Amino acid sequence: MEREALTINPAKTCQPIGAMYAALGIHGCLPHSHGSQGCCSYHRSTLTRHYKEPVMAATSSFTEGASVFGGQANLVTAIDNIFTVYEPDIIAVHSTCLSETIGDDLQQIATKAKDDGKVPEGKYVIYAPTPSFVGSHVTGYGNMVQAMAEQFAVSTGETLDQVNIAAGWMEPSDMREIKRIAKEMEVTVRMFPDTSDVLDAPQTGKHVFYPKGGITIPELKSTGDSKFTVALGCFSGEPGGVALEKKCKVPFQTEDLPIGLRATDRCLMTLSKAAGVKIPQSITDERGRLLDVMTDMEQYFSGKKVALFGDPDHLIPLTEFLIDLNMKPVHIVSGTPGKRFEQRMKAILEDTVPEANVKNGPQADMFLLHQWIKNEPVDLLIGNTYGKYIARDEDIPFVRFGFPIVDRIGHSYFPSVGYMGGLRLVEKILGVLMDRQDRDAPEESFELVM
Amino acid sequence: MEKIEILEGRQRQVFEKQEGQGALDIACETTSLSGSVSQRACVFCGSRVVLYPVADALHIVHGPIGCAAYTWDIRGAVSSGPELHRMSFSTDLKEMDVIYGGEKKLYKSLIELIDQYQPKAAFIYSTCIIGLIGDDIDAVCKKVAQEKGIPVLPVHSEGFKGTKKDGYKAACDALMKVVGTGSTEGIGKYSINILGEFNLAGEAWIIKRYYEEMGIEVVATMTGDGRVDDIRRSHGASLNIVQCSGSMVKLAKEMESKYGIPYLRVSYFGIEDMSKALYDVAKHFSDRPEIMDAAKALVKREVSSLYPELQKFRKELEGKKAAIYVGGAFKAFSLIKALGSVGMSVVLAGSQTGNKDDYEGLREMCDEGTVIVDDSNPVELSKFVLEKEADLLIGGVKERPIAYKLGIGFCDHNHERKIPLAGFEGMYNFIKEVYNSVMSPVWQFAPRKGGLS
């Protein structure tokens, strides 16, 4: 089907949900959606379906009047109400297509709220523009990460023995894992955002608005005095690194999310260099275990064709990892626009799978991916829950990875980053491939030992 | 326990039933307070949930990608045939479209999609910014309808133009343009349309089966397992029966005034209301007593097999307390009765979109001390669940994890129900689900219960 205009079965969603997710990674923060009530409701529902956790966020509840006269009054009232009743430390406001089109200026409104005395002493309002008609949910996440750095980081002139991690879009489990690795390396890191202990909160018999996790305000402020920033993910984490360099002259380097062997190597090398520490034996052993499994099971990966879809920062290192496993990523789709995706993918694929289909941005959607798969079938599909239609239609083994995953659990609790995360990915991939081999094996070659 | 406050300005939306209290002066049907963590959605959401089950129509969301992405196949409205409604189509508007308008893109998208899928009709949903950039979607729809020879219907569902209820109205307006465009030939006198039933988990099939067993012809279900051709000829039915008070009464009223078709309001949840829904229809067709005979036989058969089953659950559930927070208040009535039939009381009853009469009705049905809320939020829900020591929360997707965090049972009576809860078999399923959740051993581990921590 030739298409010029429309998107069928999208491989992305809109900016505000990314900003909302990122904002939940600040301790005591209530995300605020400056737009119609539906936006906030949809984002909360989607995040709730993905995390099986209550997700708190407020909305300006736009009405017809607000959209004619501007949403300033709504937002100022909202800020006042929120601090009075929900008592957050921070309100992180993001815009929507509606408020952007009207031309509401979040910075100006936030300043007015402060001038009017609606922001109590020691409390904060931060803001990120997230027009839904630009980029994708990944862009919105990046914009909120940037806002955190820009609006909190302070340079006191002192340099602290700590390294910032401007965390790209990862699961709470992944953020927890990166903190564990840093601790193992004896590096003090300031990671923002940090959704661990927020969206994987334990059952306590209570419903709390502000779970214990998230980077705190003093920690966020101190990022301006850190000696280095490692930004993870050029789409979702880098804006934080750039902002810190600009505002506080903290040097930064962008690395891929540490998904797979080589991306984890690079990430940890950069971190160790920045912090001036050596990689400890315990981490080297983890690497060894991942490599051991990759070699032990090499025959089961070899030559298998893979289709994958999702967000650029996930797909770039994942594709590299699949190639290192001797698999063939043949179809790759991301709804998120951006030239750097094409460039990176080209570099990763050109030696081994130059014929791979890669598309991102407009019309890079699940419909296109399905067409590609019909033309050239694959042995494995990797992506978020929306892949299940294709997996079922085409009878393809399917590994859930990315956002959103609304039909399985595990992503909140078990990391996909680092060497241990790589091990989990390998296990998941092997699991579906070998289940398939068992299912399809003729009686005589149905094997006990694999 | 630490005191949890009610948002100032919401105090007229939260009441506790007390002795000697007059009619409630509840401030409902208002927009939510800015800054409230409301559980409500928007106009678009209302239109989308009502129309989306029409399975052989094209549903295209005109706007940036989010609105289409978040409503992609989330409702579990089952179709017995075509499944075009389960795909997500969006004009995916970009910055340039916002500046120069999205009409051309919409036109092209429609042509491409109609050529590809040959739908029986197309619904075009306006989202927030369409209302601002001034796309004339009516004109585009008209043009495409002429070129392609199918109904192409604008749905004026700009998110900010009211509440979810206004979205229901916009959906009814669109449906009303389809009604009356088909031939009514062959439709008999004893015929009905089923309105406000969305076939979640196959519920419409159960209801349809009951009525057919009574000798009644079902012309169209709107919109569960819906077909455009059925809707086109639905004005040939003798009676409309309407569930889900908020969403479809408007359509029933318009069909009444335009085609002289009377309507009845019904509910299919619980023994009492389900039976009444069958009897009321039988009464309407009193000139054919066989219908009432069949209804009585059906109810007798179903209840006699269901009742003993419920008694088994009742033993354990008697005295347990439930909190109910649902979209429309009409459903809350049925749930209170259904829970009552196994000895459970309701300590909180609320809805997102109820009106004054609804809340007065709730007040009359409930025991003293029951909290009645309009457009509630997580703070209030948690507060009352804890204060009133509820054992169960009935709600939707955003309420589920709150219940679980508090360590009480939960039942989804909204889009994410996985088994039919309507009809007599649905009543069994419902009580079984309530039983399984409330009686689960997991709650004993919740630290709040002081048990095994």
Window from A198-207, B6-15, B110-119, B340-349 with minimum mean pLDDT? B6-15
Residue B3 has pLDDT above 60, yes or no: no
Do B164 and B195 lie in one domain? The reply is no
**Residue A301 has what pLDDT?**
97
Of A151, A176, A201, the residue that ends a domain is A151
Residues whose CB falls within 8 Å of the CB of residue B88, separated by 6 or more in sequence, listed in order: A8, A9, A10, B61, B68, B69, B71, B72, B73
**Span B56-83, mean pLDDT?**
94
Tokens of A450: 């694999």
**Span B322-346, mean pLDDT?**
90
**Residue A225 has what pLDDT?**
98
- Contacts with B400 from chain A: Cβ below 8 Å: 48, 52
In a domain, B49, yes or no: yes
- CATH at residue B400: 3.40.50.1980
Residue B240 has pLDDT above 60, yes or no: yes
In a domain, B311, yes or no: no
Domain encompassing residue B109: 43-178
**Residue A422 has what pLDDT?**
98
Do A239 and A371 lie in one domain? The reply is no
- Is the distance from CB of A433 to CB of A441 less than 8 angstroms? no
Do B266 and B326 lie in one domain? The reply is no
The larger pLDDT score, comparing residue B353 to residue A426, is at A426
In a domain, A290, yes or no: no
Do B223 and B260 lie in one domain? The reply is yes
Phi, psi of A70 (to 5 degrees): 95, 155
Do A195 and A248 lie in one domain? The reply is yes
Number of domains in chain A: 3
Do B17 and B56 lie in one domain? The reply is no
DSSP code for B57: E
CB contact under 8 A, B35 and A17: no
* Chain A, nearest residue to B161 by Cα: A64
Do B373 and B405 lie in one domain? The reply is yes
- Contacts with A56 from chain B: Cβ below 8 Å: 37, 378
The larger pLDDT score, comparing residue B26 to residue A171, is at A171
Do A396 and A322 lie in one domain? The reply is yes
CA atoms within 13 A on the CB side of B416: 18
Domain encompassing residue A139: 15-151
Of A223, A258, A284, the residue that ends a domain is A284
Do A220 and A314 lie in one domain? The reply is no
Do B49 and B164 lie in one domain? The reply is yes
In a domain, B4, yes or no: no
- CATH at residue A140: 3.40.50.1980
CA atoms within 13 A on the CB side of B287: 2
**Residue B445 has what pLDDT?**
87
**Residue B452 has what pLDDT?**
52
- Contacts with B93 from chain A: Cβ below 8 Å: 133
**Span B313-318, mean pLDDT?**
96
DSSP per-residue codes, A66-99: HHHH-SHHHHHHHHHHHHHHT--SEEEEEE-HHH
In a domain, A88, yes or no: yes
Do B291 and B328 lie in one domain? The reply is no
Chain A with chain B: Cβ pairs closer than 8 A? 243
Give the helix/strand (H/E) hosting B303: helix B289-317
Out of B42, B43, B68, name the one closest to residue A10 (CB).
Answer: B68
Quickly state the pLDDT bin for B330 (edges 50, 70, 90): confident
Do A265 and A166 lie in one domain? The reply is yes
In a domain, A448, yes or no: no
In a domain, A292, yes or no: no
Do A408 and A275 lie in one domain? The reply is no
Q: How far is A17 from chain B (nearest CA, A)?
A: 9
Q: pLDDT by residue (tens digit) across B82-98?
A: 999 999 999 999 999 99
In a domain, B433, yes or no: no
Q: pLDDT by residue (tens digit) across B131-140?
A: 899 899 999 9
In a domain, A212, yes or no: yes
ipTM, 2 decimals? 0.94
The answer to whether A299 faces chain B, any CB pair under 8 Å, is no
Do A186 and A87 lie in one domain? The reply is no
Do A40 and A103 lie in one domain? The reply is yes
Of A250, A284, A318, the residue that ends a domain is A284
CB contact under 8 A, A207 and B33: no
**Residue B40 has what pLDDT?**
80
In a domain, A293, yes or no: no
Out of A39, A54, A386, name the one closest to residue B378 (CB).
Answer: A54
pLDDT averaged per 10 residues, chain A (length 450): 84 97 98 95 95 95 82 93 94 96 95 95 97 97 98 96 98 98 98 98 90 97 98 98 98 98 98 97 98 97 98 98 98 97 97 97 96 98 98 98 97 98 98 97 94
Q: Burial-class residue B38 by CB neighbours within 10 Å (0-12, 13-18, 19+).
A: buried
**Residue B450 has what pLDDT?**
63
- Is the distance from CB of A323 to CB of A353 less than 8 angstroms? yes
Window from A66-80, A318-332, B225-239, B307-321 with minimum mean pLDDT? A66-80
- Contacts with B130 from chain A: Cβ below 8 Å: none
Number of domains in chain B: 3
In a domain, A450, yes or no: no
In a domain, A6, yes or no: no
**Residue A275 has what pLDDT?**
97
Q: How far is B449 from chain A (nearest CA, A)?
A: 7
Do A261 and A339 lie in one domain? The reply is no
Q: pLDDT by residue (tens digit) across B381-438?
A: 898 999 999 999 999 888 899 999 999 999 998 877 889 999 999 999 999 999 999 9
DSSP per-residue codes, A203-223: P-SS--SS-S-SB-HHHHHHG
**Residue A405 has what pLDDT?**
98
**Residue B453 has what pLDDT?**
44
CB contact under 8 A, B34 and A9: no
In a domain, B37, yes or no: no
Tokens of B412: 């989804």
Which of A21, A36, A210 to probe the B interface (max B CBs under 10 A)?
A: A36
Do B253 and B347 lie in one domain? The reply is no
Out of A10, A14, A79, name the one closest to residue B88 (CB).
Answer: A10
- Between positions 111 and 170 of A, the ones with CB within 8 A of B are 131-134, 136
Cα Rg, chain A, nearest whole Å: 22
Do B159 and B282 lie in one domain? The reply is no
